[in-house]
Structure 1
Amino acid sequence: MFKNLENAKNLRWHAMDRKVDGIMRHLTDTPSWRLIDHIWPTFGSEPRNLRLGPKQPGYDINTYLAPLIDDLKILWEEGVQCFDAYKEEYFTLQAVLLWTINDFLAYESLKDFTSMRPIATACLDAYIMYLYTRMESSRTLNLYNFVDVGSISCGSSKEERAQLLTARLLGTDYDQLLLIPYNSGNHWTLVVINLTKDAAFWIDPLKNRIDLDVTEVAERSSHLYVYLQCPKQSGVVECGYYVMRFMRDIIMSTSTSIIQIMKDSPRAYTQDDIDCIRSEWTEFVGKHVHCA
């Protein structure tokens, strides 16, 4: 790409020539792009570094990415020497896998969310993006971090999911709370890892037990697993909405004690409580879809 003069110039356009007015006109304007810049400023300071968003047939992203893992690690950890034809110089090119096509909201996801039906990964991803904007405005990005929705849920091997969690923990400050939306198979729960307490807190809106699968995945990061009493759903479709509300309550609280936050929560969320996060989600997604 960079050996071609025109391509090399265009690959810097987002940093040099794009219009910045608070409207989402380019992927650079998204919260996930800005999050990379915030967590890894050295990577973000080089506009030629690449943020990848591959697509693949069907829904087997792990199958198509498997042969590329070693190359992606090299591109992220070490980089490769590359000649920039536009600037006529060599530089160290790095890259990060930022999105896959499955991360983007489809029409079915929008329809499920607005109809109060069970929701998929993309809906929770969108709400986490919204929460990042709230954290930016309240200057609390240093307090919380998130694991990509579904990345350690059932679907791939325990070893692969443990490696993904370990990698995310390496990007988490010791005093940050790591929030992990987790799906054990048609049911959403929230796991919160507190590194300072060496503990993982299990917040389940339906069941009163900790899922063995997640303890095996998280065994490298925590030695203590704590089930917390929390608001309980009354139906069978609300778990994803409850997890979104859990995350909202945690980052909006003046306390950083997960135990205290859940202790102060109601026995169940009202429909108004759920509609609050649905309204925030709809406004956030609607704004971005309109401007895309």
Structure 2
Amino acid sequence: MEAPSSLKTLCRFVETTLLPEDKTLQFTIDKEVFGGERDTFLLPEDITQFAGMEEIGATVLAVYMRYLHDVLKQANMCSMVGFIDPATVSANSGTITERSRLVAARLQKTDGHRVVDEEAKNIVNSALKIYNTHIARAGRKNVIWKTLSGTPKQPSNVECGYYVMRFMRDIIMDPSLGFEYKYAKGNQEASYPQEAIDEVRNEWAEFVFQIIKQGNY
């Protein structure tokens, strides 16, 4: 599978600069993105795995979220959509209670109401209860979950991270935030075409080049 040209160029930078000099890309994600400042280290293997459509981790997703935050700022949508650092809520980052508290803390740092598997539901349910208690608001006893069965289906487990990236992009690029209707049953059930995945891969690569131009390596 051929990578976008920007990603090929980025891989050449890895081969000619990062690997020979044993370097990584290091930069800071501002507090306004995740609610707290985050030092990020992008390894050469993160880039090559991304270029090869291999399974990707939380760091790659966090970098794309940082890019999408700029998109939100340009569209004056930062009060409508917020991000949670994927490294803090992944399965290996703590208990459900600990992750729920992190999600609740993130909600407390937002301007509005922002917001799978059963474990993820439990985390969000608990987080919303903690958040409502914090702001002394009487919320529903239970969160109402809707199954959006029309979302594009990933072919295998490997594409999970790429689909998350594309879902985030699709949500943000719609100012009406009408994804609930867009992904209603029967509206869209096929897999994303590779062109749609390559679009986010290209955006990611171009954003990483901006980091490189700033000398963060």
**TM-score computed with the length of structure 2 as normaliser:** 0.71
**Gaps (5+ residues) in structure 1?**
1-25, 41-96, 178-192, 194-209
For the pair 1:136 / 2:73, whether they are aligned, the reply is yes
**Change beyond 3 A, Cα 1:266–1:249:** farther
Q: How many residues align?
A: 172
Deviation at 1:153, TM superposition (A): 2.0
Larger Rg: 1
For the pair 1:115 / 2:38, whether they are aligned, the reply is no
Deviation at 1:173, TM superposition (A): 2.9
Do the aligned partners of 2:63 and 2:204 also contact (CA within 8 Å) in 1? Answer: yes
**Change beyond 3 A, Cα 1:117–1:282:** same
Determine which structure has the larger helix proportion and give its number: 2
SS at match of 1:224: coil
Deviation at 1:120, TM superposition (A): 0.7
Amino acid at match of 1:248: R
State which of 38, 61, 82 in structure 2 corresponds to 1:124: 61
Task: Name the residue aligned to 1:290.
Answer: 213
Task: Name the residue aligned to 1:171.
Answer: 109
Q: How does 1:1-292 map to 2 (within 5 A)?
A: 32-33=29-30, 35=32, 98-100=37-39, 103-155=40-92, 156-175=94-113, 177=114, 193=115, 210-220=116-126, 221=128, 223-229=143-149, 230-263=151-184, 265=188, 267-292=190-215
Amino acid at match of 1:240: G
Which 4+ stretches in 1 moved above 6 angstroms? Answer: none
SS at match of 1:145: coil
Determine which structure has the larger strand proportion and give its number: 1
SS at match of 1:173: coil
Q: Deviations over 1:221-280 (max 9, x none)?
A: 162222212100123311100000000000001322331132354622100000000000
Do the aligned partners of 1:124 and 1:240 also contact (CA within 8 Å) in 2? Answer: yes
Q: Which has the higher contact order (CA 8 A, sep 6+)?
A: 2
Amino acid at match of 1:232: K
Amino acid at match of 1:98: E
**Gaps (5+ residues) in structure 2?**
1-25, 129-141
Q: CA RMSD in A?
A: 2.4
**TM-score computed with the length of structure 1 as normaliser:** 0.54
Amino acid at match of 1:133: D
Cα separation, 1, equivalents of 2:193 and 2:176 = 22
Cα separation, 2, equivalents of 1:143 and 1:149 = 19
